[in-house]
Amino acid sequence: MELSDQQKAAVTHIGPALVVAGAGSGKTRTLTAKVAHLIDLGYRPERILAITFTNKAADEMKRRLTELTGLAVERFPWVRTYHSACFRILREHCRLLGYEPPLQIYSDYQQQKLIKDLMIRFDMDRKNFYAVRAALSSAKNSGSPDAYMDAHPRIGPVRLRDLFSAYEDELKARNAVDFDNILLKARDLLRDHDGVREDYRAYFSYILVDEYQDTNNLQAELTRLLLGNGNLFCVGDDWQAIYGFRGSNVDHFLGFERSYQGASIFRLEQNYRSADEIVKTANGLIRFNRDRMDKSCFSEQKGGSVAIHEFFSDEEEAGWVADKIEMLHRSGIAYDKMAVLYRTKFCSLPFEQAFRFAGIPYRMLGDKGFFERKEILDINCYLTAAVFPKDDAAFERVLNTPKRGIGPKMVEKLNACRPPGGSLQDAVARAVSGKILSSKIHAGLSALIQLLKDIEPMAPDAAIRTVMDRVDYETHLNQQSKTADEFTTRMENIEQLVYAASTYETLLDYLEEAALVREDKEEADSDEGGLSMATIHASKGLEFHVVFVVGCDENLLPHWKSRESESELQEERRLMYVAMTRAEKFLFLTTADYRKGQYSPASRFIAEVAECLRQ
Ligand SMILES: Nc1ncnc2c1ncn2[C@@H]1O[C@H](COP(=O)(O)OP(=O)(O)OP(=O)(O)O)[C@@H](O)[C@H]1O
């Protein structure tokens, strides 16, 4: 693999190091080359912990490593996300924290149900749901839930501390962790159990972390807890730190030299993606941020362009973008080399309408995560209920999916059969053996209990096919789908699920992975052709020949909620920077006076970019 001199210097250095990279500077290439170099030096691949930001990035890195080293993919068991690596550690030692193996990861769906039930118990208004979920998550990701709750004591009239402990008690009683707990509990384990910590410290010979600018406090602490010998290699771009809103803290990146005494700093400044005109303008924009590391990013490619266009309304803006795309397409640029990026999802509607009208094929990136789709959730709840019979949320979902004539009254009646400390599934098993149900319901429920027993030992793909077949899920899906197209798409999703599941040996292995890929939700899934439409967050890491950043209005980008705080405003500017640096050749920034019937002046970032273009 070809490496520049800057990349080579970073790859061959041994000891604590931070790579301060620019956009398009080959971070992934450098990280992969570093692992391969370590293996050449005699480091065992099994002992290298390489942390990526998403599961997809971990798979991609493993693929490249097998190509580079000729080693089998199994030789890289610790190329993982923070969540996936921490769950592996947690699962191994969960008894030390009072859990019984197998430890369950609560999916979004199960977590939502638990929170909603608790909110009823605390007599809270349903409109507080997102606030409650965000507060629980932020408390954990801060690394210090107590301090967080001191600073944010209440949601409405309810004490956050009471909610938090009720929520944690419920999870513990169900022998489960939610997504945020994976990091928090792994931190507790490594911090409080010296023997476990020292074993891992002795085991890992090198730790590498990608996208270090987006680590949160817990992840930074976990890195420190796992690091035994100072061999730490972190790569990132502080100009692209865009996850502050969910707890990432760019200070870990900015303060790396203070945290790791003697660390070497390397810079990757050549942009291999974008033309120099784009790199220069993006550099100029980021200079308006006060808090940033200095970098001299450059490109050797010429011939790009940056243009600003202002419109009266969003319809006019969308029509112009559609015309421009058609023109570029006629000049030979394929649709899949172009992207339309926006700050928030609602912006996309007039553009979708304009593209449909003009017959431009497009796809939305980073939409609902695969595992959150209705049909996938249904099937996964069957598998979960088979492996975790105490999981009421999963069992309640399958109880009447497809319809078995079980309404809320019947659920109440079944609940009354619950043995002390038992689950809803225990209750149903009791009701079935007690023969207290009408014959139709009895037949449906006993078939369900039998089905769950039968699939529990099966391989995941066989289990899915068995569920589909025995509950006639296809007919159910057909009835539920509004159009023939929707039915086809949903059935295709299930085929995809069967394929994905076939790579796992047991239901437990499969369910763990399914729960862990939650973090890839924002990630783009890009198999089909067509123009790409995406939020800026979902476009991270991608590149396109032509990029339109639309909706550059003062209310939208920067987002109106961020305008009062200097640090949030700087994060918005970094978002603009991420969007601009996705472009290889042509970059268009557009704004409209009226959007959704409201007036807004052009974004201050438009004025800043215009200033850079004049220089
Ligand atoms: N030494 C090199 N020589 C030629 N091309 C390179 C080199 N290093 C990286 N590239 C190419 O530059 C492009 C950008 O690389 P990559 O996607 O790894 O950048 P990145 O630093 O992760 O970017 P970003 O953070 O902006 O997403 C890729 O197409 C990659 O193949």
> What are the tens digits of pLDDT across the range 163-214?
999 999 999 999 999 999 999 999 999 999 999 999 999 999 999 999 999 9
Is residue 211 part of the annotated active site? The answer reads: yes
In a domain, 93, yes or no: no
- Helix segments in 77-212, DSSP class H: 82-92, 108-121, 129-141, 145-151, 160-173, 179-192, 194-203
Spot the catalytic one: 178, 211, 392, 512. Answer: 211
- CA 7 to ligand 1: nearest atom: 1
Return the biggest CA–CA distance within the chain: 83
Residue that terminates a domain, selected from 519, 540, 563: 519
Contact indicator for 50, 78 with CB cutoff of 8 Å: yes
Q: Is the same domain home to 73 and 149? A: no
Tokens read off for 262: 């003697």
How many Å lie between the centroid of ligand 1 and the Cα of residue 26? 3
Which residue's CA lies nearest to atom 5 of ligand 1? Answer: 272
Angle, to 10 degrees, between the axis of helix 424-433 and the axis of helix 392-399? 50
- CA 581 to ligand 1: nearest atom: 26
Question: Where in 257-303 does DSSP place strands (E)?
Answer: 264-268
In a domain, 435, yes or no: yes
Tokens read off for 442: 């009895």
The residue among 517, 102, 567, 548 whose CA lies nearest residue 291 is 567
CATH label of the domain that carries residue 412 = 1.10.486.10
Q: Is the same domain home to 80 and 146? A: no
- Of the residues 3, 20, 235, 272, which should be mutated to test ligand 1's pocket, given the most ligand atoms within 8 Å of the CB? 272
CA-to-CA dists, residue 394 to 380, 382, 515, angstroms: 8, 7, 13
In a domain, 114, yes or no: yes
Q: Is the same domain home to 389 and 501? A: yes
Q: Is the same domain home to 264 and 395? A: no
In a domain, 117, yes or no: yes
Cβ atoms < 10 Å from Cβ of 203: 13
Q: Which residues are annotated as a binding site for ATP?
A: 21-28
In a domain, 259, yes or no: yes
Residue that terminates a domain, selected from 251, 268, 285: 268
Q: Secondary structure of 287-300 in the HEC alphabet?
A: CCCCCCCCCCCECC
Q: Is the same domain home to 375 and 363? A: no
**Domain coverage including residue 147:** 104-174
- Domain tally, the chain: 4
- CA 27 to ligand 1: nearest atom: 21
Helix (H), strand (E) at residue 480: helix 473-480
Amino acid at 344: T
pLDDT along the chain (615 residues), means of 10: 93 96 95 97 98 91 96 96 96 96 89 92 89 92 93 93 96 93 97 98 98 94 95 97 88 93 95 97 96 92 96 95 98 96 87 91 77 87 95 91 88 87 92 86 93 96 96 92 79 83 90 75 55 93 96 92 89 97 98 88 97 90
Residue that terminates a domain, selected from 145, 174, 203: 174
CATH label of the domain that carries residue 37 = 3.40.50.300
- CA 23 to ligand 1: nearest atom: 26
How many Å lie between the centroid of ligand 1 and the Cα of residue 192? 40
Spot the catalytic one: 111, 213, 215, 240. Answer: 240
- CA 240 to ligand 1: nearest atom: 25
Which residue's CA lies nearest to atom 18 of ligand 1? Answer: 26
- Of the residues 239, 242, 273, which should be mutated to test ligand 1's pocket, given the most ligand atoms within 8 Å of the CB? 273
Ligand 1: residues with CB < 6 A are 2-4, 7, 21, 23-29, 237, 240, 272-273, 541, 581
Is residue 28 part of the annotated active site? The answer reads: yes
Long-range (24+ apart) CB contacts under 8 A made by 149-157 are 155/124, 155/128, 155/131, 156/124, 156/125, 156/128
In a domain, 98, yes or no: no
Q: Is the same domain home to 440 and 488? A: yes
Spot the catalytic one: 210, 237, 396, 522. Answer: 210
Which residue's CA lies nearest to atom 4 of ligand 1? Answer: 272
What pLDDT is recorded for position 411?
86
Q: Is the same domain home to 36 and 140? A: no
Q: Which residues are annotated as a binding site?
A: 21-28
What pLDDT is recorded for position 526?
47
Helix (H), strand (E) at residue 52: strand 48-52
Q: Is the same domain home to 493 and 385? A: yes
In a domain, 425, yes or no: yes
Q: The whole model's pTM is what?
A: 0.86
CA 387 distance to own-chain centroid: 25
Which residue's CA lies nearest to atom 14 of ligand 1? Answer: 24
Q: Is the same domain home to 73 and 209? A: yes
Is residue 582 part of the annotated active site? The answer reads: yes
What pLDDT is recorded for position 259?
94
How many Å lie between the centroid of ligand 1 and the Cα of residue 273? 6
Q: Is the same domain home to 192 and 51? A: yes
Complex ipTM over 0.85:
yes
In a domain, 358, yes or no: yes
Separation CA 338–CA 551 (nearest Å): 17
Q: Is the same domain home to 27 and 61? A: yes
Spot the catalytic one: 91, 267, 582, 604. Answer: 582
Cα Rg, the chain, nearest whole Å: 26
Contact indicator for 25, 270 with CB cutoff of 8 Å: yes
Is residue 27 part of the annotated active site? The answer reads: yes
Q: Is the same domain home to 378 and 235? A: no
Mean pLDDT of the chain: 92
> What are the tens digits of pLDDT across the range 322-377?
999 999 999 999 999 999 999 988 888 889 889 989 999 998 887 666 777 889 89
How many Å lie between the centroid of ligand 1 and the Cα of residue 24? 5
Which residue's CA lies nearest to atom 30 of ligand 1? Answer: 26
